[in-house]
Chain A
Amino acid sequence: MTKSKDFWRRYSRNRGAVVGLGLIWVVILVALLAPLLYPDSPWRMVQRPFLPPFAVDGFWFGTDTLGRDIGSGLAHGARVSLVIGLVSTVVALLIGVPIGAAAGYFGGRWDDALMRFTEFFQTIPSFALAIVLVAILEPSLGSIVLAIAIVGWPPVARLVRGEFLSLRSREYVQAAVLSGQTSGAIIFKQILPNTLSPVIVLASLMVATAILLESSLSFLGLGDPNVMSWGYMIGAARTVLRQAWWMSVFPGLAILLTVLALNLIGEGLNDALNPRLAREGR
């Protein structure tokens, strides 16, 4: 496959993107191996509280105020973060892509109506809306995913609409109209595949935002009470920040590195998928 080789060549020209990909692989690996590395529940108290890092063998990240292993929390939290990031992005795409496609393709009144609807969501500060939604729906994995998706889809819709507006007047789309294809077939077979590059780039950045949003919600105590997450760990450690730095620094680093990795990947994808827009001199 020369095509995938070519893609990789352009992607790997951006060194940051390769680092990002490596980082995200580490996170995915840790998430997958969490049940093997830390078979116990991350909620179980396993050592004395306030154990600093490297003080006791096997507890390299120390323990928290209740004697729970921070390392276990990090590994299990990675699963939650990745799952929420991915699923909420998929849901946001499922809402945003059809709305943007319909607005861009049909234009006119449809466009007006759908875009006003989209703007309605964009005018509300997204974090406030997410808090309200989670509070109403009761915190659970499902409600958090839904809340993040609902605040996340408007940019997708706007992007897809813009792409559709410009592609709709392309001659190959007109040829498809003339050959008697239905609007559905034209949208999904002719136009949508040609909008994917920017959507993929946006999606990789949305996963990062979703992880941040989930952490923020958990930090405020609005996370799913049954699952360990990085945001919750920081939230729980904030009262003892001065005595036990490791409790908030490690999950904080985990969030930082994951989000950074995803952003680097997004940039690399942008370079690889839109080669003509790639910046010079990389």
Chain B
Amino acid sequence: MSQEPVITVKDLTVALPRGADREHAVEGVSLSLAPGEVLCVVGESGSGKSVTANAMMGLLPKEVRPVAGTIEMDGRNLLTLSEREWQDLRGSDIAMIFQEPMTALNPLQRIGDQIAEVFEAHGALSSKERQAKALSLIEEVGLPDPEKAVRAYPFELSGGQRQRAMIAMALALEPKLLIADEPTTALDVTTQAQILELMADLRRRRGMAILFITHDFGVVAEIGDRVVVMRYGEVVEQGTVGDVLGRPTHPYTQRLIAAVPPLTPPPPRNRNDDAPILTVEGLNKTFRSGGGLFSKARVVKAVTDVTFKIGRGETLGIVGESGSGKSTAGRCIVRLLDPDSGAIDLLGEDWSAKSGAALRQARKRVQMIFQDPYASLNPRRKVASILTEGPVANGVAREKALARAQELIGLVGLDPSALDRFPHEFSGGQRQRIGIARALAMDPEVLVADEAVSALDVSVQAQVLELLADIRDRFHLALIFITHDLCVAAQICDRIAVMRRGEIVEMGPTEAVFGNPQHSYTQALLGAVPGWGENSPLAEGRRVAGAAS
């Protein structure tokens, strides 16, 4: 592309306030975008990718300031603009869409008015023209029933529709550059595929440059022309998507790409099929909310007639999109929720019928690993107490529990000194290891992992998955692995159950479900996973990276 670049960032360095864990949020970052180009900035959390984007929008927090370099657009250095000049620029030349469309839209304003407001802020068009333009934009981004969507409030739209509305707002003044900060991360995989398609389509039609920030290499492979890989605020590698993903040269990029879980499951393990340890039959759970004298209660059938078996040493994956009832099913199995009906049989005992003290005493047999590594550990208790209070509550002597905690903390790959520290002193992946150790401290027979690696960076994700597989084999546990991420599920699960709207639509051995999906919904899900289509550079990149490391 020999055209004049839309925007050029040169040697950008942004300082963090004193006392932060490093001096600069980004250091010496250079990149440029040609018209109609999609540049992906990819990196793990803390790599400075969002700071770079915010600097290009003039949206840095007050304490975080650029100290060196330039951001050039139309012959102007954006870093020297006044707030007033920024306001003119934002929306008209550069627009931004965010990760969470619910919080980025004003909940009390109709979609059409919010789009019209963009024109109003820049003093463009008459009020009637604004409304007409809003309608045509809504049509362009493919919101169903545009006439109605104009008058809808954000809460009346689904997540994907809200993201479409955000894009319509961003497109309003025909910016030359669209900055998209993880725009599909909060969306389901099928919705994500639609939004990616919309963005690619808009780029083609409008010749707009897109800076796409993401942590997901699959998304990069799907939509990017060129890619910038960032780590610790520095660019480690940059080039075309085919080159960087297909033939990564920097060791860090190679490590990252090697850690990306592929959509193809590894060959099945040789397992001698044990008798099932946990049998779930006809599980039902319905939520009722609201409902008073004048309004009807809202009834949601979260889990309908779920039936499965799992043996020792086996991993059953429950996959599905948000609202499919997979988490509710998991919570019923660990008895954080009481199922409405259905039987859960744990080694001949009726697990679903226990209650009160009997349930409390039996709880240690079925443990859970949670999603959010930041919310799942009590911030005010040291790791030693976090690991011992469960066993102690079950009558284990304190010294014995502490000795076991020491053993477990080593087993999950942490230093024994970790026991004396508080959770906030650990990174996300380390916290997740502590969560796993906590579950193991109870000597469970069944382990339910609810999105246990979803909040982790891809390299950490691979390590935690390995750890989970390791402890499953070492302790001969039944592992129920709940996830929305099909690639992750493919790596660890022996069998997969696909859930939709509370029902299991397909269940079978992993290689069968991935290789020859029977149900149309499974096929749609697999088809929507970004980055693993034909001629994807990622498969090649994994081979190269694997050979290098």
Which of A's residues lie within 8 Å of B, judged by CB? 170-172, 174-182, 185, 189-190, 193-194, 280
B245-286: CB near A (< 8 Å → 1, else 0) gives 000000000000000000000000000000000000000000
- At the interface with chain A, which of B212-220, B307-315, B367-375, B526-534? B367-375
B363 at interface by CB-CB < 8 Å: yes
Chain A residues with CB under 8 Å of B435's CB are: 175
Q: Tell whether, in the assembled complex, residue A178 and residue B378 are in contact, meaning their CB atoms are under 8 Å apart.
A: no
Given known A185-B393, A194-B378, contact A178–B372 (CB-CB < 8 A): no
Closest residue of B by beta carbon distance from A172: B378
B442 at interface by CB-CB < 8 Å: yes
8 A-B residue contacts at CB 8 Å?
A170-B376, A171-B372, A176-B378, A178-B363, A178-B366, A178-B368, A189-B389, A194-B380
B336 at interface by CB-CB < 8 Å: yes
Q: Tell whether, in the assembled complex, residue A170 and residue B360 are in contact, meaning their CB atoms are under 8 Å apart.
A: no
Roughly how many angstroms separate A176 CA and B380 CA in the complex, as a whole number?
14
Taking CB atoms and an 8 Å cut-off, the chain B residues in 320-343 that contact chain A are: 334, 336
Roughly how many angstroms separate A38 CA and B360 CA in the complex, as a whole number?
61
Roughly how many angstroms separate A182 CA and B379 CA in the complex, as a whole number?
20
Q: Which of A171, A176, A180, A189 contacts B364 (CB 8 A)?
A: A180
Chain A residues with CB under 8 Å of B366's CB are: 178
B69 at interface by CB-CB < 8 Å: no
Chain B residues with CB under 8 Å of A171's CB are: 370-372, 375-376
Which 8 A/B pairs are nearest by Cβ-Cβ distance? A179-B390, A171-B376, A171-B370, A172-B378, A180-B363, A181-B393, A193-B380, A180-B360
Chain B residues with CB under 8 Å of A181's CB are: 360, 389-390, 393
Given known A171-B372, A174-B370, contact A180–B377 (CB-CB < 8 A): no
Q: Tell whether, in the assembled complex, residue A176 and residue B389 are in contact, meaning their CB atoms are under 8 Å apart.
A: yes
Q: Tell whether, in the assembled complex, residue A180 and residue B336 are in contact, meaning their CB atoms are under 8 Å apart.
A: no
Roughly how many angstroms separate A190 CA and B423 CA in the complex, as a whole number?
14
Q: Which of B367, B377, B394, B439 contacts A172 (CB 8 A)?
A: B377
Minimum CB–CB distance for A101 against chain B, Å: 16
Roughly how many angstroms separate A177 CA and B376 CA in the complex, as a whole number?
12
Roughly how many angstroms separate A171 CA and B370 CA in the complex, as a whole number?
7
* Most B-side CB within 10 Å, residue of A170, A174, A179, A189: A179
Instruction: Supply 5 further A-B pairs (C-beta < 8 A) apart from A171-B372, A172-B386, A194-B378.
Output: A175-B435, A178-B363, A179-B438, A182-B360, A193-B380
Roughly how many angstroms separate A194 CA and B380 CA in the complex, as a whole number?
7
Closest residue of B by beta carbon distance from A190: B378
B361 at interface by CB-CB < 8 Å: yes
Minimum CB–CB distance for A147 against chain B, Å: 34
Roughly how many angstroms separate A174 CA and B376 CA in the complex, as a whole number?
8
Roughly how many angstroms separate A172 CA and B381 CA in the complex, as a whole number?
11
Chain A residues with CB under 8 Å of B370's CB are: 171, 174-175
* Most B-side CB within 10 Å, residue of A172, A174, A182, A194: A172
Chain B residues with CB under 8 Å of A280's CB are: 62
Given known A175-B438, A194-B380, contact A180–B361 (CB-CB < 8 A): yes
B352-370: CB near A (< 8 Å → 1, else 0) gives 0000000011011011101
Which of B's residues lie within 8 Å of A, judged by CB? 62, 334, 336, 360-361, 363-364, 366-368, 370-372, 375-381, 386, 389-391, 393-394, 435, 438-439, 442
Roughly how many angstroms separate A189 CA and B393 CA in the complex, as a whole number?
12
Roughly how many angstroms separate A175 CA and B390 CA in the complex, as a whole number?
9
Closest residue of A by beta carbon distance from B367: A178
Specify the main secondary structure of chain A where it touches its partner.
helix
Minimum CB–CB distance for A45 against chain B, Å: 55
Given known A178-B334, A179-B442, contact A172–B393 (CB-CB < 8 A): no
Roughly how many angstroms separate A172 CA and B378 CA in the complex, as a whole number?
6
Q: Tell whether, in the assembled complex, residue A175 and residue B394 are in contact, meaning their CB atoms are under 8 Å apart.
A: no
Chain B residues with CB under 8 Å of A174's CB are: 336, 368, 370
Minimum CB–CB distance for A42 against chain B, Å: 45
Q: How many A-B residue pairs have CB under 8 A?
A: 71
Chain A residues with CB under 8 Å of B364's CB are: 179-180
Chain A residues with CB under 8 Å of B393's CB are: 179-182, 185
Minimum CB–CB distance for B389 against chain A, Å: 7
Minimum CB–CB distance for A245 against chain B, Å: 49
Q: Which of A170, A177, A178, A179 contacts B375 (CB 8 A)?
A: A170
Roughly how many angstroms separate A174 CA and B335 CA in the complex, as a whole number?
10
Q: Tell whether, in the assembled complex, residue B394 and residue A179 are in contact, meaning their CB atoms are under 8 Å apart.
A: yes
Roughly how many angstroms separate A55 CA and B439 CA in the complex, as a whole number?
76
Minimum CB–CB distance for A184 against chain B, Å: 11
Minimum CB–CB distance for A60 against chain B, Å: 48
Minimum CB–CB distance for B194 against chain A, Å: 31
Closest residue of A by beta carbon distance from B385: A189
Roughly how many angstroms separate A104 CA and B301 CA in the complex, as a whole number?
26
Roughly how many angstroms separate A194 CA and B424 CA in the complex, as a whole number?
14
Given known A174-B336, A174-B368, contact A179–B376 (CB-CB < 8 A): no
Chain B residues with CB under 8 Å of A185's CB are: 389, 393
Minimum CB–CB distance for B156 against chain A, Å: 26
Roughly how many angstroms separate A170 CA and B378 CA in the complex, as a whole number?
9
Q: Tell whether, in the assembled complex, residue B390 and residue A172 are in contact, meaning their CB atoms are under 8 Å apart.
A: no
Given known A172-B378, A189-B389, A193-B380, contact A179–B363 (CB-CB < 8 A): yes
Roughly how many angstroms separate A189 CA and B389 CA in the complex, as a whole number?
10
Closest residue of B by beta carbon distance from A169: B375
Roughly how many angstroms separate A174 CA and B371 CA in the complex, as a whole number?
12
Roughly how many angstroms separate A170 CA and B381 CA in the complex, as a whole number?
15
Roughly how many angstroms separate A180 CA and B372 CA in the complex, as a whole number?
21
Minimum CB–CB distance for B314 against chain A, Å: 21
Chain B residues with CB under 8 Å of A179's CB are: 363-364, 367, 389-391, 393-394, 438, 442
Roughly how many angstroms separate A190 CA and B336 CA in the complex, as a whole number?
17
Minimum CB–CB distance for B305 against chain A, Å: 25
Chain A residues with CB under 8 Å of B377's CB are: 172
Q: Tell whether, in the assembled complex, residue B380 and residue A175 are in contact, meaning their CB atoms are under 8 Å apart.
A: no
Chain A residues with CB under 8 Å of B375's CB are: 170-172
Roughly how many angstroms separate A194 CA and B377 CA in the complex, as a whole number?
12
Given known A171-B370, A178-B367, contact A194–B379 (CB-CB < 8 A): yes
Roughly how many angstroms separate A177 CA and B335 CA in the complex, as a whole number?
10
Roughly how many angstroms separate A172 CA and B439 CA in the complex, as a whole number?
11
Closest residue of B by beta carbon distance from A280: B62
Chain A residues with CB under 8 Å of B391's CB are: 179
Roughly how many angstroms separate A280 CA and B61 CA in the complex, as a whole number?
12
Chain B residues with CB under 8 Å of A178's CB are: 334, 336, 363, 366-368, 442
Roughly how many angstroms separate A194 CA and B381 CA in the complex, as a whole number?
10
Q: Tell whether, in the assembled complex, residue B376 and residue A175 are in contact, meaning their CB atoms are under 8 Å apart.
A: yes
Closest residue of B by beta carbon distance from A170: B375
Roughly how many angstroms separate A194 CA and B336 CA in the complex, as a whole number?
21
Closest residue of B by beta carbon distance from A189: B389
Closest residue of A by beta carbon distance from B374: A171
Minimum CB–CB distance for A118 against chain B, Å: 22
Given known A175-B368, A175-B370, contact A180–B390 (CB-CB < 8 A): yes
Roughly how many angstroms separate A172 CA and B379 CA in the complex, as a whole number?
9
Minimum CB–CB distance for B396 against chain A, Å: 11
Closest residue of A by beta carbon distance from B368: A178
Chain B residues with CB under 8 Å of A180's CB are: 360-361, 363-364, 390, 393-394, 442
Closest residue of B by beta carbon distance from A173: B378
Minimum CB–CB distance for A160 against chain B, Å: 16
Minimum CB–CB distance for B378 against chain A, Å: 4
Roughly how many angstroms separate A174 CA and B435 CA in the complex, as a whole number?
12
Roughly how many angstroms separate A132 CA and B414 CA in the complex, as a whole number?
62
